[in-house]
Structure 1
C-alpha cells in the first residue's frame, strides 16, 4: 500500500466517469476515499468494488463538500490528492507520482498540476485554458477547502508550494456533451456565483487568499477576480469574451472551442450579471421597506 499519499474523490451519479478515473490511478496502490452526494446510479457499487472507502453527504456546494471530505475521512498518509470524478491522470503524471516521497518535499505543503480541459471531445488549448495549474495535492491536515468561495472551489495551503509542469490532469465531463445538461448545470452555478458576488459587493464575504499578480496560480486568480468584481455589470462578459477569443487566441480552438468560449465566457457570465442585478434590487427594495 502507498504510504506517501491517498486519493479523495467527490461523486454524484458518476458511473460514466468513475471507472475511467479509478483505472488511471489503480497502479499507484494508494488508499482511495469517495465522498458521494447520494448518487442514484451505479456510482457506489463501482467505488466499493474498486476498494474505495465511501461516505455520503448531502451536497450544498463544492467548497463545503470538500471540507466535509477533508474533515471526515481517516487519512493516514502525509499527503492527499483530491480529484473530481470527471478527471483522470495521464501515464506521464502517474510515473512521476510513483517516485513521489514525502522526504523529497520537505518544506513544501502543496503541489500544482497542469490541467487539460476538454469540451465535446476537443482539447481547449487556447483562451486562457492552457496551461492551467490546479492545486490538487497537499499535506493532509495542512491544506483546507476555501469556504469563502460559494461556487469555485479551491484549496488553501499555507507555506510553500511546487508546480509540476510535466504530466497532466485531464478533465472532460462527458455528460456536458449534451448542451442541455451543460446549460442546466451552469444555470445552477450562476445562482451560487451571483449570491456570492452580491455578498462580496456588500462586504459580507472576503477572499481568503492574498491577491498577488506574481504569486501562486491561485493568488493570481484572486488578483484577477478582484479586478473583475469592480468592472461594470453587462460590459464585463463582452470584454471577457473578446479577451478569450482574440487576446488569448481562443478563436484557434475551432468551432467547438468557440462555442465553449462563448457559452463559458459570455453566456454564463451574462446570466450571473443579470442575477446579481436582480438580487441587488431585491435587497435594496427590502431595505427601503424597512425605513
Structure 2
C-alpha cells in the first residue's frame, strides 16, 4: 500500500474511514422512502479527527471497499439477530435487520483480514463480540434492575466508566470518563481474543479490545456525541478522542506500509 496521499481522489494526509450506515424507511422534505442514512455526528467526528468519512451501505458487497480504506467504524443501530450468536429471541429484542447484520459481519471480517484499525460503537461493540464467538445479554434492565444505560427512547443516559490502564481507551481518554449511552443490550460471554478495558459501576462491560492488534476497539457508549452535559467545568470529556486515536492508528499503519 502506498502513502496516504498516493491514491487518486483523496486528500493527502487524510485517512479514509469507512462508517457503516443504517438502511431504514425515512421521511424528509416531501419524500418518504427506503434510505441509507447515518447521524451527522459520525462523519463530523471523523472530519474533526483528521479523516475523511466514507458511508458504507448495509450491503455485503460493501466489504469490497475495505481494501481501499484506512480504518472502519461500526456505527450504532438496532439489535443484532440472536440467531447470530445462538440464542433464543428475548421479547425485548427488536426486529431483525438481516441485511445490515450480514453486511457488518462481512465488513468486520475483511477489516480484520487486512489489519486496518476498527472502532465499534454501541451496536458495533456487539457486532465485534458476536462475530468473534461471544454472546449478548438481550435486556440489561432485567439483569441490572435499572434503565440507566437507556433511560428513554431517544434520550442518552450518562454513565461513568472506569478504563483499564495501558489500554487504547485509557490512552485516549484517561482513567475515568463520563459517557453517553443508549443501549438496552450488553456483552455477556466475550468473543475470542477480546479483553475488557472499560466497566460501568454496575459491572456492565463498556469497552473491549482485541489482543494482538494495534487498534481493534469496541465501546458500548456513543463517542460521536458532543461533550457530556452536566460535567464539571474544566473536566467535561469530549470523548471524540477515540476518533482521533482511530485516525492516528490509521496514519501509523499507513507509514508502516509506505
Higher relative contact order (CA 8 A, sep 6+): 2
TM-score by shorter chain over 0.5: no
Q: Which interval holds the TM-score relative to the shorter structure?
A: under 0.3
More helix by share: 1
For normalisation by structure 2, the TM-score amounts to 0.26
Structure showing greater radius of gyration is 1
